[in-house]
Structure 1
Amino acid sequence: MRRLLAGMALSLAAGSSLAAPEPAAPWWKHALILEVYPRSYGDSNGDGVGDLEGIRQHLDDVQKLGADAIWITPMYPSPQVDFGYDVADYRAVDPTYGTLADFDRLMADAKQKHIRVLLDMVLNHTSDKNAWFVESASSRDNPKADWYVWNDGVDANGASVTPFQKRFVHDGKVPPNNWESVFGGSAWEWVPARKQFYYHRFYRQQPDLNWRNPAVEKAMFDAMRFWLDRGVAGFRLDAISTLFEDPQLRNDPERGGTNAYGDPNLHTQYSDNLPEVHDVMRRLRKMVDGYPGDRVLIGETYTPKTADLVPWYGGAQKDELHLPMDLIPGFGWQAAFDDNWFRKHLRDAQTDLLGEPPLLVFDNHDNPRSIDRFGDGKHDLARAKVIAAMLLTNRGVALTYYGAPIGMTTSTPTRKEDVRDPVGITGWPKDKGRDGERTPMQWTAGPQAGFSTNPTTWLPVASNYRTVNVASEMADSGSLLQWYRTLIDLRRSNPSLHDGAMTFVDTQNPNVLTYVREGAEPVLVAMNFSGEPRPLASGIKASAVRTLAASDDALKAAHSLDGTMLPPYSAWIVAFKR
């Protein structure tokens, strides 16, 4: 025994396999997260609007898909001017969606099914019906008078006043600068009771909180603790770059032309992405990391290039967001169905983020659905399978949106009177809003697509629900849903796809994007972005080629890498040995 113990000690000292194992990676580093828009997911009570019980009733579907977590967009009490992103109370559930008891029941069932629940947290602004703002707006000397961003304005006849500011005169005053609301018009709204303007980056019913007041930070952190204590796995932080504004209130520079609302186009130099926000992120990260279970902070971070996400991770310290969203694929004007575009973007995501996992976002509630953005009207399904392969086989965290795995399409209103989204109401016809990507989930080919028993749903069900729905696609081995399920299962079970490094090969092959996920048995992912067959030319000398998944049946019999013809708009995932 003494000899054995001595040998063990020597082995441990030498760093043998008896040394302590590496700690397991946080659950979210390999996760698939499904965004759920509660108004549109499942209506349990027949009022035409989705609710928490409707989400709970479909947890089996989430489990069958293979998602590790659901992110629920705002379900808090709200006047619903911006469909929940105008929060009236951060510690309750809107009656439209149910009760706290319903939420707790959802949490309990999700835990049983090993599905984590993330909530949307709106830190930048509240509803103007929030009790905090009602009090703040009542006078200049109440206890919450400084909880929001207030200003006296400037003389309407001042020499430096812009024509844009002069459109908003009140008692001889105009807004203090040219800052604009994302939803059109001035970002400043006059309140007679205070004879002041308040700032609202978004809709006028969404006043911005004053994050320079420590009491605001405490109140918001306490609200997040309320939900963390109920077991949520983390938060997606809405519009996180907008928490602070220039204290000098300098005008944002104009960049020429006008937007969909007829307002001057601006560079938001002084009203967005100020450095102070990173101090808040570090404090928030410390608070969230104090909870057990690897809670996660995800940020809505729109950036022009991938490297701009590094500060949101916290730079070299990596002490801010766990997962800032890489939303560049969500910009329809920037992304293209092009192998070179995606190769560069995927490579940047591997090399420019200090080794942190990227979180690629192809679909969400603010952008037309990717099947439309990347489709050509003829090969939409085949192209969608290529996009799915890219989303689910790259080295990073994956996020998808309800309906994307079945190919739900964007159903944009054709008449202004049908628009529900405030963006579309004010921006019509140049900007028709976001209703098209928020239509009810298509579960079956039955009435209202199985979403509701009410013939009048809050938004109309898309007209293609009889063929594009979960029930039909579960029964079809060649469907987009079954393709998603296959890829998700591979992502979870295949060691190389789960953990392997990512190496790009065949980079000069026109219209073909190919990379290898390294491991004991590497996996090659090849995608043809063209409408013509293309030969694979990876340069890899491989043996024992084994197809794991193929979007085109012709690839299932392939027994070699180079020389295999990739059919038009196809994806091939294949294990091999060198």
Structure 2
Amino acid sequence: MKRTATGIALLASTLCAALAMHAQTTPAKDPWWKHAAIYEIYPRSFGDTNGDGLGDLNGITAHMGYLNQLGVDTIWIAPMYPSPQVDFGYDISDYVAVAPEYGTMADFDEMMASARQHHIRVVLDFVLNHTSDKHKWFLESASSRTNPKADWYVWNDGVPADGPNVGAYQKRWVQQSNHGPVVPPNNWKSGFGGSAWEWVPARQQFYYHKFYKQQPDLNWRNPAVEKAMYDVIRFWLDRGVAGFRLDAVPTLFEDTQLRNEPERGGINAQGDPNLRDIYTNNLPEVHDVMRKMRAIVDSYPGDRVLIGETYLPNAQAMLAWYGGDKLNELQLPMDMRLGFNSKNANHLDATHFRTVLTEEQTVLRNAQSLLVFDNHDNPRSWNRFGDGKHDPQIARILSTVLYTTPATAMTYYGAELGMTTQTPTRKGDVRDPIGITGWPKEKGRDGERTPMQWTPGPQAGFSTNPNTWLPVEPTYKSINVQSELADPHSLLTWNRTLLKLRSSDPVMRHGSMLLLDVTNESVLSYMRVLGKRAIVVSLNMSAVPQTVHLDLSAARIMPRKATPLLVEGSSLGAKQDATEITLQPFGTMVAEIP
């Protein structure tokens, strides 16, 4: 299934000449993360070096050269700690070790050394909200009400099943104790289905779990828990990691009164009522923890970073996660509003994109935004944004937005190739527990976690084992690193060129951003400006041709000839006027005005 662009002009030689001609003194040194291109690696799926069908740390090391050539400068590794793998690593049983299936601590150190040699920083996933129920902390906590870790998790006696305020949802989860029938204390539900409370006979109590029952929530109101988790942070910072991506970080605290969540109406894929999680998500206490963590990472050299998994509704809510004007909490909360906004996730919307980009420059003020279009929890952007006809062009638009705005960029393995979501068609093939419990309405996240496609050979070059942990997607014969590196018109080549432009051109690194043609509902246009140089970006987000008239005078740039750097489906040729351009359906233009 060949997916090369039609009419692409990748002017790599022109780009290199332009960069050499316009090299200039860099402004005051920014922290590295302000310009970073962060690449998420799902370790189970990236590279298998021992033939067991499962990716490992040595598989990351083996491909460090590719990552460097691609142009990413930071990798974020999804959890590689020991785990029962109920949630594929997000149920951690030991925070300061490496899972045997992924390798050893010596393998980790070797990977870190290779990353340094290739000028790549390593960010680790840090799961703060919960542990595995097999973690030694929980095993001790669950054993009695009097042990030293009895208060390390969120425990509750429950309420009588025939109590006056017990709802139908609670009664579904009746548990029998020595004191008579009891039910969970409220209607809180797990994000993966069912009640968020699980009974433990040894304690005659329920524990709270925001996610799977095998992921009990830590009690962050206990100072001993805080200290233990901060010690974990220091352990990995001492080994040289550049920072942490904080998983599900808004969920650290719960309402002490255990009030019922308000119902929103309807039911989810697991048959549970839809709730507004105002008592279990984004409580104000979490910001005190963020400030303490920020102080820890700031005490280390090298501009260590905290990245937050933050699905937030607007820029004002995001600003709080930076620490407001003090900027003393997360350096990089993830802005999911472009990549995962439910209203706009299935099509491009120039107005929506323009609104978000405007808010990032105004509401966020001096804070650095972080854009994300793909991750391990959502169908790939190729499928979510694609229309089935112009998918390659749409993929180029998303990459262009990701890498040409002033935001820090985060991508996901395989997005640079055009890997697609391979949703299981049979329940028996599902590995993700949420897909098993929610089938057929919820089919899980296996589809976006398939093995990386390196070659057109067996198992796409991911493994020598024909029984990989998830099947390789059928597109691997043409959609793979080896084939796309050889194709000057491939999506991989497009991404490499964008990343080179982003890292090397002073305009893209330090230039201001000015939105153009701001009433156009079909085309998103903007300009990056530094001194007398500018780079103009224009993206047709519609399925019909568009002629765009761009007024560059606001940047004090008079209409003059432009040199195309990256063009697909555009009338702009070499040395033509950039103020009037015709873009084909989902066409893209990136042009320099020298």
Deviation at 1:552, TM superposition (A): 3.8
Deviation at 1:189, TM superposition (A): 0.2
- Give 1:5's aligned residue: none
The amino acid of 1:242's aligned partner reads: T
State the distance in 2 between where 1:552 and 1:294 align: 41
Q: Which blocks of at least 5 consecutive residues in structure 1 are unaligned?
A: 1-20
Q: Does 1:374 align with 2:408?
A: no
- Alignment check: 8 A CA contact 1:496 1:518 kept: yes
The amino acid of 2:408's aligned partner reads: V
The amino acid of 2:492's aligned partner reads: L
Q: Which blocks of at least 5 consecutive residues in structure 2 are unaligned?
A: 1-25, 553-557
User: Mapping of 1:81-480 within 5 angstroms?
Assistant: 81-171=86-176, 172-331=181-340, 333-335=342-344, 336-480=347-491
SS in 1 for 2:269: coil
State the distance in 2 between where 1:441 and 1:539 align: 43
Q: Does 1:526 align with 2:538?
A: yes
- TM-score normalized by the length of structure 1: 0.95
Deviation at 1:22, TM superposition (A): 7.0
State the distance in 1 between where 2:570 and 2:353 align: 25
Q: Deviations over 1:504-528 (max 9, x none)?
A: 1112334111001111201111011
- Give 1:6's aligned residue: none
Deviation at 1:304, TM superposition (A): 1.4
State the distance in 1 between where 2:360 and 2:343 align: 16
- Alignment check: 8 A CA contact 1:125 1:208 kept: yes
- Give 1:50's aligned residue: 55
State the distance in 2 between where 1:29 and 1:448 align: 37
- Give 1:569's aligned residue: 586
Deviation at 1:230, TM superposition (A): 0.3
- Give 2:13's aligned residue: none
The amino acid of 2:589's aligned partner reads: W
State the distance in 1 between where 2:120 and 2:86 align: 30
State the distance in 2 between where 1:297 and 1:333 align: 26
State the distance in 1 between where 2:76 and 2:512 align: 27
- Alignment check: 8 A CA contact 2:568 2:589 kept: yes
SS in 2 for 1:465: helix
State the distance in 2 between where 1:95 and 1:553 align: 51
The amino acid of 2:469's aligned partner reads: W
- Give 1:4's aligned residue: none
Identity of aligned pairs, percent?
Answer: 61
Deviation at 1:554, TM superposition (A): 5.1
The amino acid of 2:310's aligned partner reads: T
Which deviates the most, 332-341 or 404-413?
Answer: 332-341
Deviation at 1:184, TM superposition (A): 0.4
Which deviates the most, 534-543 or 127-136?
Answer: 534-543
Q: Deviations over 1:368-426 (max 9, x none)?
A: 10011110011100110011111110111000000000000000000111111111111
- Alignment check: 8 A CA contact 1:393 1:487 kept: yes
The amino acid of 1:568's aligned partner reads: P
- Give 2:65's aligned residue: 60
State the distance in 1 between where 2:273 and 2:572 align: 52
Q: Deviations over 1:552-571 (max 9, x none)?
A: 47534361112221222111
Q: Of 516, 520, 523, which residue of structure 2 is paired with 1:509?
A: 520
State the distance in 2 between where 1:42 and 1:556 align: 41
Q: Does 1:536 align with 2:553?
A: no
- Alignment check: 8 A CA contact 2:561 2:593 kept: yes
- Alignment check: 8 A CA contact 1:350 1:395 kept: no
Q: Deviations over 1:473-505 (max 9, x none)?
A: 111111000000011100111111111111111
- Alignment check: 8 A CA contact 1:444 1:470 kept: yes
Q: Deviations over 1:352-382 (max 9, x none)?
A: 1122121011000011100111100111001
Deviation at 1:333, TM superposition (A): 2.2
Q: Deviations over 1:191-226 (max 9, x none)?
A: 000000000000000000000000001000101111
- Alignment check: 8 A CA contact 2:547 2:581 kept: yes
State the distance in 2 between where 1:542 and 1:422 align: 57
State the distance in 1 between where 2:497 and 2:144 align: 59
- Alignment check: 8 A CA contact 1:509 1:537 kept: no
- Alignment check: 8 A CA contact 2:570 2:588 kept: no
- Give 2:577's aligned residue: 560
Q: Of 518, 541, 545, which residue of structure 1 is paired with 2:562?
A: 545
Q: Deviations over 1:325-373 (max 9, x none)?
A: 0012232622231211211121122211122121011000011100111
**Runs of 4+ with >4 A deviation:** none
Which deviates the most, 419-428 or 127-136?
Answer: 419-428
SS in 1 for 2:416: helix
- Alignment check: 8 A CA contact 2:77 2:125 kept: yes
SS in 2 for 1:464: helix
SS in 2 for 1:518: strand
The amino acid of 2:400's aligned partner reads: A
Residue 22 to residue 477, structure 1, CA distance change in 2 (3 Å)? closer
State the distance in 1 between where 2:301 and 2:202 align: 46
State the distance in 2 between where 1:527 and 1:302 align: 26
- Alignment check: 8 A CA contact 2:570 2:584 kept: no
Deviation at 1:442, TM superposition (A): 0.5
SS in 2 for 1:390: helix
State the distance in 2 between where 1:149 and 1:258 align: 26
The amino acid of 1:34's aligned partner reads: Y
The amino acid of 1:327's aligned partner reads: M
State the distance in 2 between where 1:351 and 1:332 align: 20
- Give 1:485's aligned residue: 496
Residue 408 to residue 22, structure 1, CA distance change in 2 (3 Å)? closer
State the distance in 2 between where 1:84 and 1:198 align: 21
- Alignment check: 8 A CA contact 1:41 1:55 kept: yes
Residue 553 to residue 469, structure 1, CA distance change in 2 (3 Å)? farther
Deviation at 1:551, TM superposition (A): 2.7
- Give 1:72's aligned residue: 77
SS in 1 for 2:530: coil
Which deviates the most, 343-352 or 259-268?
Answer: 343-352
